[in-house]
Amino acid sequence: MVNSNAASYGKNARVLVHGGAGAISRKRLTAASEKRCKEKLKQALSAGAKVVDQGGSALDAVVAVIKVMEDSPLFNAGRGSCLTRKGRVEMDASIMDGSNLDAGAVTGITCVKNPIEAARAVMELSPHLLLMGTGANSFCRKVASQAGLKIVDPEYFVTARSLRGLARFLEKEKLARQAGLTISGLTTGASQSEGASPDFCHDDLEFLNECKYGTVGAVALDLDGNLAAATSTGGITGKSAGRVGDSPIIGAGTYANNDTCAVSCTGHGEHFIRAVVGHEISAMIEYAAFDVRTAAEKVVFENLARTDGSGGLIALDAKGNYSMPFNTAGMFRGVATGDGRFEVAIF
């Protein structure tokens, strides 16, 4: 859809990125780690901003952002994804085009280098919206050359850090069991049950996997006034095989609608699904005339809080207003705007 006011969108164009929310400890995040993460966020933002600046679509922009993040082992998506209890990678991703409400998603895939491209392929080349597991892998292999998907061995995604993260998780779980405690829902790092919450954070980049954050997401508004959203994740460390979080669920972890907003979430997926976060924000804007910031903050600080859901999100409306709230200690995030703003932050 080409908006008739396209020319007026130049300055409003925006690209937002997140690289996960969680109990990131200021004290334990070394300057070197912080720098590496921020540089990767900037690189991802630049990739998306370049697409938009050259008149490309919001959809292409969010894919460009996510691919940079998926290719980096620093974040929990693509290479560097969290591992299941059995040490496997099962990745989830979704994408939504706000101009026509088209969407695509995959869950539990193991063989596509950039899961976000697999989600887009489902949207564009299949009659379906969400494909899972072996069926999703087969579909991706079938359309690989047409969709430009790179098929890789599952080992490509596994890193020494993700293996150490799983080993530590299983060890801590064992200790917690012996002490009669539970690790709260295999959480994304924040709000773990009192006493059962081992010290997950480390003073190097291991915290990204061991604390189980690092899901990546992007939202964009292009020069034609169209919105798009995308999210990609390895899920949570130590998850059971087949566990699906909010990231591939349209309306929960990802949502985009030109009439309201584009949203990508990160956090404890089970809570984000229950709060239907992406669509809830859209509905507040559509039916209750909330602005995007008020709606996003209400969902993060009130709705999610009702069930102790921890995490954050990035949200952007079709006028370029945006919000990046989180109820955790930190969230890797950044924004690039058509009028020259280019910022990344963690805390």
Which sequence positions are flagged as catalytic?
A: 215
Using CB under 6 A, count the residues that bind ligand ASP.
14
Smaller CB distance to ligand ASP: residue 52 or 186?
186
Is 225 among the residues that bind ligand ASP (CB under 6 A)?
A: no
Using the rule CB under 6 A, give the single segment among 114-122, 172-180, 233-241, 295-303 that binds ligand ASP: 233-241
Identify the residue among 84, 187, 247, 260 touching ligand ASP (CB under 6 A): 247
Render the burial of 109-129: b for 16+ CB within 10 Å, e for the rest. Answer: bbbbbbbbbbbbbbbeeeeeb
Location of structure tokens 């945006």: 322
- Give the span between the Cα atoms of 342 and 113, in whole angstroms: 28
Residue 341 CB, nearest distance to ligand ASP (Å)?
25
Is the CB of residue 157 less than 8 Å from the CB of residue 115? Answer: no
Q: In what order do the strands lie in the sheet with 91-97?
A: 130-132, 102-109, 91-97, 227-233, 216-221, 14-22, 330-337, 342-345
Is 266 among the residues that bind ligand ASP (CB under 6 A)?
A: yes
Identify the residue among 246, 262, 304, 325 touching ligand ASP (CB under 6 A): 246
Over 10-44, what HEC string results? CCCCEEEEEEEEECCCCCCCCHHHHHHHHHHHHHH
Using the rule CB under 6 A, give the single segment among 25-33, 131-139, 243-251, 317-325 that binds ligand ASP: 243-251
Site pattern 193..222 for ligand ASP (x: CB under 6 A)? --------------------x-x-------
- CA angle, 130 then 136 then 142, to 5°: 125
Spell out the alpha helix ranges (H) of the chain. 31-53, 58-71, 115-125, 133-147, 160-178, 206-210, 269-274, 277-288, 292-298
SS3 207: helix
Residue 270 CB, nearest distance to ligand ASP (Å)?
7
Residue 187 CB, nearest distance to ligand ASP (Å)?
9
Identify the residue among 19, 78, 245, 309 touching ligand ASP (CB under 6 A): 245
- Scan residues 16-45 and list those touching ligand ASP (CB under 6 A): 20
Residue 222 CB, nearest distance to ligand ASP (Å)?
25
Using the rule CB under 6 A, give the single segment among 110-118, 125-133, 172-180, 232-240 that binds ligand ASP: 232-240
DSSP 278-296: HHHHHHHHHHH---HHHHH
Is the CB of residue 302 less than 8 Å from the CB of residue 261? Answer: no
Is 235 among the residues that bind ligand ASP (CB under 6 A)?
A: yes
Of 314, 311, 183, nearest to 237 by C-alpha is 183
Residue 247 CB, nearest distance to ligand ASP (Å)?
5
Site pattern 41..80 for ligand ASP (x: CB under 6 A)? ----------------------------------------
Using the rule CB under 6 A, give the single segment among 8-16, 172-180, 230-238, 299-307 that binds ligand ASP: 230-238
Is the CB of residue 19 less than 8 Å from the CB of residue 211? Answer: no
Q: What residues make contact with ligand ASP under the rule CB under 6 A?
A: 20, 188, 213, 215, 233, 235-236, 245-247, 253, 266-267, 269
